[in-house]
Amino acid sequence: MFHKLYIKGMSCEHCKKRVEEALKNHEAIRTVKVNLDDGTADLDTIRDMRFDELNEVIQNSGYELVKIEKK
């Protein structure tokens, strides 16, 4: 499944790397591509993921998950 996350608070390459690493460490996520310019992350996952599940990963990284679009 594909998910697009809208993330608030990322402002530099360090932020981007921190979010990418946190998401890559989740067992259900295959690939991650973070776009710093528009504050999004594109995920390919092995299953459908809930907002609260992804929100926990993003919040633990120090950022805010605004919304998710499922593709």
Contact between residue 65 and residue 4 where contact means Cβ atoms under 8 Å apart: no
pLDDT in tens, 45-55: 999 999 999 99
CATH number (domain holding residue 12): 3.30.70.100
What would the pLDDT profile of 34-44 be if each residue is shown by its tens digit? 999 999 999 99
Q: Over 90: is that where the pLDDT of 63 sits?
A: yes
- pTM score over 0.85: yes
Instruction: Provide the number of structural domains found in the chain.
Output: 1
Domain hosting residue 66, numbered range: 2-70
pLDDT digits (tens, 9 = 90+) for 8-19: 999 999 999 999
